[in-house]
Amino acid sequence: MVETLNNSSNTEPRTVRVWRFLDGKPGHEKQTLGLTEALSDSVTVVVRDFDVRMPGTWCSEIKARLQKRRGIHDRPDLIVGAGHATHWPMLMTRIFCGGRTVLLMSPSLPVRFFDLVFVPRHDHRREAVNLIETLGVIGPMKPTEKDPGAGLILLGGANRHFEWRDERVLQQVQSLIRENPEISWTIFDSRRTPESMMKTLTALADVEYMNCRDSASDSLATRLSSAIQVWVTADSVSMLYEALTAGAVVGVIELPLKRPERSNKLTRGLVDLRETNRIQLFNEGPRLIMHHHVPEAMSEGRRCADIVLERLFFVA
């Protein structure tokens, strides 16, 4: 798939050809989409997608270049990916097809193998000249005008760091609905939400329940763009940062840790966000304080895109 992202107000004539490597995981795809869309604010971006689960797609490009065929696609300027399965395909493509590699995660290979690596600050990676820390994960959401009466509750599920207890989550959800009667609530579950919780959610009154298996793929993004406040379960890091990036005021539905005596990257991220007043925890009350400043996380995609252009293409 080839897609051109263009900014009509852009005065820089350069076109950046991006080959985007996907592993089939929506969270990873959102990160790469967030970066490419942010890049298109400054330069014209032509995007080609490669699914690493189908080796023939990217291997055929390498084979074509080794055979020096005529009429093959332009070489990539930028090779972008997220997910461990994308690492070797990205590196092999750079060797044979050219381009610079940008990875949006903490890699399982040495950081020096990639040209730029963007890593959430809570991952606590060792410093390197090509490693950039981000406030959470990059996403495609952008702040828009909010509906003061719209609220979302986003639920995760089974997770290696937190214990999921239906009754505890339900108590917090019911309290949010009861204590915020002026808000029209919509609940979204996820692929990890237990079946037992789904059955309970369908019986809730005064709330709209959206099952991820039956909802349109863009339903959550559409609701996030307009919701004034969003509550997210502690395990759902990706959804939490999407809500912050969308410019909502965000609260966290708390879950017990499986190992309270040990810190993990999810709890470190939550602590960091709380200390900087970007989120509110449920134990502080079920009503969000609506005078929070605009979350810094909204600009992470833009900031990372600027770093890519400045360091790899010398575009200021």
DSSP 180: -
Judged by average pLDDT, the poorest of 2-11, 16-25, 223-232 is 2-11
CATH 3.40.50.2300 holds for 2-136+299-313: yes
| Average pLDDT along the chain | 87
Examine domains 2-136+299-313 and 147-293 and report if their fold is the same: yes
pLDDT band for position 296 (50/70/90)? very low
Per residue in 65-105, pLDDT tens? 888 776 566 889 999 999 999 999 999 999 999 999 999 99
pLDDT of residue 143: 74
pLDDT at residue 115 tops 90: yes
pTM exceeds 0.85, yes or no:
no
Give Cα 282 distance to the centre of its chain: 23
- Separation in Å, CA 280 to CA 27, 51, 94, 152, 224: 23, 38, 43, 15, 18
Helix ranges restricted to H, 180-230 = 195-202, 219-226
Mean pLDDT of 21-42: 91
* Stretch among 7-16, 183-192, 236-245 having the lowest mean pLDDT: 7-16
- Say which CATH topology domain 147-293 has: Rossmann fold (3.40.50)
The dihedral of CA 217, 302, 7, 36: what is its sign? negative
Question: Does the pLDDT of residue 168 top 90, yes or no?
Answer: yes
Q: Is the pLDDT of residue 46 over 80?
A: yes
Q: Residue ranges per domain, the chain? A: 2-136+299-313, 147-293
Are the CB atoms for 277 and 294 separated by under 8 Å? no
Does position 6 have pLDDT exceeding 80, yes or no?
no
